[in-house]
Amino acid sequence: MVSKNTEHPEEIEIPEEISGLRMTRQRQEVYRILQQERNHPTANDVFMRVKDRLPNISLATVYNCLEALVQHGIIRQVNFERESSRYCPNLSEHGHFHDQTTGVIHDIDFKPGIRLADLLNLPPGAVIEDVEITLRGKLANI
């Protein structure tokens, strides 16, 4: 089998298939960018970056790839207000802190042993499928 990228040994190797999703060249490159850019890029950010390697890729394809990756649980889609969706390869349960001065988005982990659903008055019979926590604020410069 011919290695796809012997000529780029430092790069992340991405398998042919991840959790049942066929990893086409476009999906590979989109996914690679998310692995590298950990700053929660938008579809358009990804599009601009990916064009270095796939000059003919279309924005629609980037959207398709991102959706496929999200659907298969390989990446997460994150929304802030009604801004463009952002994407992130961190699958662990975590929240996001949106720094209003810099615009930077930080991943926020729970302190160990915390189960959010235990702290809320949920309606009886509620089965939680997904949780989203977003904090907005500033970083005091210390």
Partner DNA sequence: ATTATAATTGGAATAATTCTTGATTGCGAC
Partner DNA sequence: GTCGCAATCAAGAATTATTCCAATTATAAT
103 lies in the site for its own copies, by CB under 8 A = no
122 lies in the site for its own copies, by CB under 8 A = yes
User: Shortest distance, CB of residue 35 to its own copies, whole angstroms?
Assistant: 22
Tokens linked to 67: 């959706």
The pattern of x and - marking residues 61 through 80 that bind its own copies according to CB under 8 A reads ------------------x-
**What's the chain's length in residues?**
142
Backbone angles phi, psi at 10, to 5 degrees: -80, -10
Q: Site size for its own copies, by CB under 8 A? A: 40
Stretch that binds its own copies, among 20-28, 38-46, 56-64, 128-136 (CB under 8 A): 128-136
Classify burial at 31, counting beta carbons within 10 Å of its beta carbon; exposed 0-12, middle 13-18, buried 19 or more.
buried
Find, among 61, 89, 58, 94, the residue nearest to 76 by Cα: 89
Judged by the rule CB under 7 A, the positions of this chain that interact with DNA are: 21-22, 24-27, 42-44, 54, 56-61, 63-65, 67-68, 82, 84-85
- Give the one residue of 81, 92, 102, 103 binding its own copies; rule: CB under 8 A: 81
Rg of the chain taking only CA atoms, in angstroms? 18
Q: Residue 41 carries which DSSP code?
A: -
